[in-house]
Amino acid sequence: MKLLAGKTAIITGASRGIGEAIAIRFAEEGANIAFTYVSDNSAEKARLLEEKLIALGVKAKGYQSNAGDFAACEVLVNDVLATFGAIDICVNNAGISKDNLLLRMTPEQWDDVMQTNLKSVFNMTKQVIRPMMKAKSGSIINMSSVIGEMGNAGQSSYAASKAGVIGFTKSVAKELGSRNIRCNAIAPGFVETDMTSYLKEGEGAEKYKAGIPLGRFAGTIDIANVTLFLASNLSSYVTGQVISVCGGLNI
Ligand code: NAP
């Protein structure tokens, strides 16, 4: 039996990177997938992903929707419920970084990061808990970052947003555990995606790898597999936790 057979998952920011890998991994395990992206440039990628997921034998649909916009999330979740009939799993994955030293960081850069990385998690969680409470079950997985635990020079806004995600996750776990709704966070280290393309080659990359006990950056599949664990009943007694998937970077 597939781990997510008969379940419906909503995944934000799945046109690329970690979100795309999660969508594919979940579909391989039988989940129907509603996923989002935000930019017009990603519409074609989203269409191709939709096709790929459907070819895996599940129902799938991509939505252009800004996770940082509360009203847009309300519309999205209502549309997904009308099309799929349920939301069993929500992966709050959409995120950006606008790195800058604090001396140079503008209020606009700060606000953009907070809106996309933290307010989005509030926006989506607030919507999906309604159907989950009705169903008396649900799993919410929030994408934090090892930077939210450790901090990093030049990433104060990103670190603050990702630390905020952890506090939110633990609070929601306490609020909704009695309703059989679990809420956990994942704290990836460096993952090979567009977000970290600046780390791909050269001396810089080697310097970062030297600080990682496993000696390599993560592939998106490394994060997708842990997300699958948290989405499935394999983790039925796990809530309010932050699982670091960072090759040991944080020890
Ligand atoms: P990525 O390759 O840059 O992809 C980001 C995804 O988020 C894209 O699908 C993008 O859609 C979507 N997105 C951005 N803003 C959005 C918004 N306002 N509404 C809806 N979707 C939006 O990023 P990634 O590396 O896969 O990162 C995914 C998550 O993991 C993020 O939360 C990130 O902070 C976290 N993370 C990443 C790393 C890493 O090393 N890569 C490490 C720790 C944590 P478009 O294609 O339309 O732009």
CB 92 within 8 A of CB 67: yes
Tally of domains within the chain: 1
Whether residue 231 lies inside any domain: the answer is yes
Q: Is 157 contained in some domain? A: yes
CA of 93 to the centre of ligand 1 (A): 6
150-181 pLDDT per residue, tens: 999 999 999 999 999 999 999 999 999 999 99
DSSP 8-class letter at 118:
I
Residue 3 inside a domain? The answer is no
Would 1 be classed as within a structural domain? no
pLDDT in tens, 4-56: 999 999 999 999 999 999 999 999 999 999 999 999 999 999 999 999 999 99
What's the CA gap between 231 and 207, in Å, rounded?
A: 34
Active-site entry in 158, 198, 208, 237 = 158
- Domain membership of residue 249 (yes or no) is no
Give 1 Cα–ligand 1 centroid separation in angstroms: 31
| pTM of the shown model | 0.98
Query: Ligand 1 pocket: which residues have CB below 6 Å?
Result: 12-19, 36-39, 42, 66-68, 93-96, 116, 143, 145, 188, 190-191, 193-196
- State yes or no: is 158 an active-site residue: yes
Does a structural domain hold residue 103? Answer: yes
251 in any annotated domain: no
Range of the domain at 215: 8-244
pLDDT digits (tens, 9 = 90+) for 201-213: 666 788 889 999 9
The pair of three-digit structure tokens given for residue 185, joined into one six-digit string: 């966070």
Please report, for the domain that includes residue 83, its CATH number: 3.40.50.720
